[in-house]
A and B are shown apart, each in its own frame.
Chain A
Amino acid sequence: MTTTRRNLLKFVGGGAAGALLTPAPWRLITDTALWSENWPGIPRPARGEIRARFTHCTLCPAGCAVRARCVNGQPVSLAGVKPHPISHGALCPWGIAGHHLPYHPARVRQGPVKEALAAVARALSQRGAGERVAVLDLRPGRTVSWTYRRAMAAMDGGLYLTPHQPAYAIDLAAAQTVVSFGAPLFDGWGTPGNVFAARANFRLVQIEPVETRTAALADVWLPIRPGTETAMAAALAGEITIAETARATGVEEEAIGALKEAIAGGPAVVLAADSASPLMSLNGKLHALGHTVVARREAPVPEAWKKAAPATEVIAAPDRAIRVLLIDESLPGGYVRWQEIQPKLAANAVVVVFSSTSEGYARHAQYVLPAPVYPEAAEDVGLAIDTVAAVFRIAAPLVAPVVPVVNPGELVARIAGLPQADPLRERANAIYKAGRGTLLSYADGKSTPAKEVTADDFWKTLNQGGCWMDDSGKNAAPGKLEFRAAGEPPRDDLPLTVVVAEMRRDGLESPLMSKLERESNLRLSANRVAISPADAHANGIENGGRCVLETACGRLNVVATIDAGVPAGVVEISRGPRMADLCGASQRARVVRA
């Protein structure tokens, strides 16, 4: 037999067809899958002893109680603590993934500590008459805040600066009707668990131009014309007629009438997206002060601390007077726009920021020092806007700092020459000595009067993720409420009204937040804006197209999302330091194709 090309092809083809009738190729397919299982590079989860540890989340002032599932001491998941009387076992998405923050790839990992200290010392020794040293505390009300205040009192010309701090707390449980002017009640306002626990007992009327997450779940959403909220407030105060209000706001007369009846029918509270908004003054006219808007209560502090510098709002600081500014940005808090800070700085000011992110004030400071992130540091949390009773909660660290960090409180105390001490312990002792309140232990779910435990047990329980809560006293009316005037009047060249649709936390967030943003488009990411199809068409912008967001304060490259749920004339943004600097005071913007 001669070997021809035809015979060779027949042999190969027949062999291939025959092989399909054997198990070999099918086995190979299965093996392919098995090989893929053993590809290198797939991380292997560590195994070991599994234990539960307790702490408090410090990512916002709510300070929700946290149960961490730890493997060999390393937290692998976080969940809420159901018996907690304020947070009721709820955590927000940021809190659920908080244990990832120490490993965030964008974390500030090193900083020029010696150079910063030398620059501060030089500036302090060379400062002229009237030049000040200041600490900006973005999360006032903590124990370290008292350290800053004491440090500033000890230094000549020291100023303790804060963002606007409401002098009141909101008692949602006492409200029958909640009138919210854009306050994100169900999306980052107050303590999530507390809000949802009180939800069944109040009727929510959400007044805002776009249907946010809160508006979607409100009992009534009043889609108001952007920028006309003051007219609605005037109507509720009885200063203008319902017909006039309807014409100004675009809200139907019946809806306004029904709202007026609702707030007259029982305890009500008015909330605004900005706690400094003059809209909050409506609470006085609704007789809410002392009932649903109450005085803030703070946990006791040692007597010796009370000779501390008073809190001064940044806007009230003298212009061009601050020679040294130390900014504690270690915990996300009320971001103060850089445009408000800059005029307060002297010409040759030294700005040092303690931060874990390069997104915030690190963009403007000469020295950025790495700060610990949650859950690395032992600190207390502060008070949320809906926390009525005084509480003291320590965020017990769950991991050791994974990069060399600077403790902002210790460094400021060192600069001011305060004696070395453990302020948290001193504060806990002062609370214990007050002899009131209840100590909650999450590990065993026990609630014990503070006076029935020893001082050592009191401290130990707090450090194991316990919580002290003051006795529930009678609600008092808050002191004088201070508000800020509204923003600038509309400009013709900036036709869009800026609406904050996403209340992002400032600071680092877990890389897993990509699930909510890029991987699902459930939330607007930091560099996205949403506009209406009409505005997009008018400006030649495509969905997902690059464009520029422009306000009176500057420009920012963003990606456009076209959403028919956004009314014409509105641009939805996601809050963050860059957006705050761009849009904070300026409510007007335009979006143009890049």
Chain B
Amino acid sequence: MTAQTQNRRVARYGMSIDIDKCNGCGACMVACAVENNIPPAPEAANDRKGITWIRVYKVDNHLAYPERRTAFVPVLCQQCGHDTPCVHVCPQQAVDVDPATGIVGQMPERCLGCRYCMVACPYHARYFNWWDPAWPVGMEKTLNPDVAPRMRGVVEKCNFCHGRWHAAQQKAAAAGRREIDAADYVPACVEACPTGALRFGDLNDSSTEVAQDAQRPESFRLLEKIGTEPKIHYRSRRGWVREISSAPRPEGKDGLRG
């Protein structure tokens, strides 16, 4: 920990996701791609080779129609707070956890493209650049200047829109403040969610909505039993939805889109 972070209040940014409010519209996925300069899919891309830092999965209760019920679960990097698997396995030190924010960062310029981190990630939240990033002619003008496009052959993932955090830091510094205003740092997916299903904030600050959401009885985390202390807290009033984190994979492919 640096002297700078020792003097500052340590944040632990996290998200709460109300699955009962998510309608699976995909606004978060598109907003994320716009914000983070993620290119459209090349011709050969599919659901395994595409890049979606946040991906909304359609899950169901495995019952037959008409008892079958579905829910939409946005899955992004869970920003593991303990024994972060991708950090441990990276041979290049291309992944780190920022002690000031708790955000798991990915440095593409260090990444070798070995994809150990993708294997290690229990949440399938890391994506490999199979192709050079390319946009239709003219569309490169719409790229966000705060985020550098990544090159072919490296892994990337959600970093809670780190560019926005930097911008909020600069704004606070310009105003002579040491701490950022919470309203200045909101990831693109949270800003875009039309239903208000996504909330973001500092889990260390008990006054934030996200910290309070994390304490609710209907709150749960994905694969909590493996002890990675994810910072994404889901919640649902439906019991079968809360059980999805430990549910077995469906047999066969009939239950899966694609």
A residues adjacent to B (C-beta < 8 A): 29-30, 32-34, 36-37, 39, 41-43, 45-48, 50, 71, 74-80, 90-93, 96-97, 99-100, 102-105, 186-187, 192-193, 196, 211, 213-214, 216-217, 223, 250, 402, 510-516, 518-523, 530, 532-533, 543-544, 561-568
B29:A522 contact, CB within 8 angstroms: yes
Chain B residues near A250 (CB, 8 Å)?
66
- What's the minimum C-beta distance from B220 to chain A, rounded to whole angstroms? 19
Contact mask for chain B residues 190-231; partner A; CB cutoff 8 A; 1 contact, 0 none: 011011100000000000000000000000000000000000
Chain A residues lying within 8 Å of B138, measured Cβ to Cβ, are 102-103, 402
Closest chain B residue to A514, Cβ basis: B41
Central interface residue in A211, A516, A523, A566, by most chain B CB within 10 Å: A516
Q: How far is the CB of B64 from chain A (nearest CB, A)?
A: 7
Whether A211 touches B70, Cβ cut-off 8 Å, given contacts A45-B149, A516-B29, is yes
Determine whether B30 belongs to the interface, using a CB cutoff of 8 Å to chain A.
yes
Interface residues of B in 22-79 (CB under 8 A from A): 23-27, 29-31, 33-35, 37-38, 40-41, 45-47, 50-52, 55-58, 60, 64-66, 68-72
- 11 A-B residue pairs with CB within 8 Å: A45-B37, A46-B145, A93-B29, A97-B33, A103-B142, A515-B41, A516-B29, A520-B29, A520-B50, A565-B65, A568-B65
Bound-state CA distance A196–B140 (Å) is 33
Return the contact of B20 from the options A50, A217, A519, A523 (Cβ within 8 A): A217
Question: Which residues of A sit under 8 angstroms from B257, Cβ to Cβ?
Answer: 521-522, 530, 561, 563
Contact indicator A36/B194 (Cβ below 8 Å):
no
Which residue on B lies nearest to A215, using beta carbons? Answer: B70
- Whether A93 contacts B27 by the Cβ 8 Å rule is yes
**A211 to B65 alpha-carbon distance, docked (Å):** 10
The answer for the CA separation of A36 and B254 in the assembled complex, in Å, is: 40
Residues B55 and A520 in contact, CB atoms below 8 Å apart: yes
- Is the beta-carbon distance between A36 and B143 smaller than 8 angstroms? no
Interface centre among B20, B69, B112, B145 (most CB of A within 10 A): B145
B71 (CB) vs chain A CBs: closest residue: A216
Which residue of B21, B27, B38, B144 contacts A92 across the interface (Cβ within 8 Å)? B27
Chain B residues engaging chain A, CB cutoff 8 angstroms: 20-21, 23-27, 29-31, 33-35, 37-38, 40-41, 45-47, 50-52, 55-58, 60, 64-66, 68-72, 92, 108-113, 132-149, 151-154, 188, 191-192, 194-196, 253-255, 257-258
Bound Cα distance from A593 to B216, whole angstroms: 50
CB distance from B72 to the nearest CB of A (A): 7
Q: Which residues of A contact B149 (CB under 8 A)?
A: 42-43, 45
Contacts of B40 in A (CB 8 A): 510-512, 514-515
Asked whether, in the complex, the Cβ of B154 is within 8 Å of the Cβ of A192, the reply is no
B37 to chain A: closest residue by CB: A45
Q: A100-B139, A520-B47, A521-B47 are in contact. Are A533 and B254 (CB under 8 A)?
A: yes
CB of A39 within 8 A of CB of B132, answer yes
Q: A211-B70, A223-B65 are known contacts. Are A32 and B112 too (CB-CB below 8 A)?
A: yes
- Given known pairs A42-B132, A564-B68, the reply for A91 and B152 (CB within 8 Å) is no
CA distance A568 to B188 in the complex (A): 39
User: Which residues of chain A have C-beta atoms less than 8 A from B146's C-beta?
Assistant: 45
Tell me how far the C-beta of A54 lies from the nearest C-beta in chain B, rounded to whole angstroms. Answer: 16
Would you call A45 and B145 a contact (CB within 8 A)?
Answer: yes
Beta-carbon contact of A522 and B24 below 8 Å: yes
Of the candidates B25, B30, B194, B195, which one forms a contact with A97 in the assembled complex, judged by CB atoms under 8 Å apart? B30
Chain A residues positioned under 8 Å from B45 (CB to CB): 514, 518-519
Which residues on B sit within 8 Å (CB–CB) of A186?
Answer: 23, 25, 195
Q: In the complex where A33-B112, A564-B255 touch, is A76 in contact with B29 (Cβ < 8 A)?
A: no
Check B154–A42 contact: CB distance below 8 A.
no
A518 touches B50 (CB 8 A): yes
A514 to B140, CA, bound (A): 17
Besides A33-B154, A102-B138, 19 other CB < 8 A contacts?
A36-B152, A39-B151, A43-B133, A43-B143, A45-B147, A76-B142, A76-B143, A77-B34, A77-B35, A93-B27, A187-B23, A196-B195, A213-B72, A511-B40, A511-B136, A522-B26, A522-B29, A522-B55, A567-B65
Rounded to whole angstroms, the CA-CA distance of A78 and B27 in the bound complex is 12
Asked whether A96 and B47 contact (CB < 8 A) given A76-B144, A79-B191, the answer is no
The interface residues of chain B lying within 8 Å CB-to-CB of A543 are 253-254, 258
Q: Provided the pairs A76-B145, A213-B23, A564-B254 are in contact, do residues A519 and B47 lie with their beta carbons within 8 angstroms?
A: yes
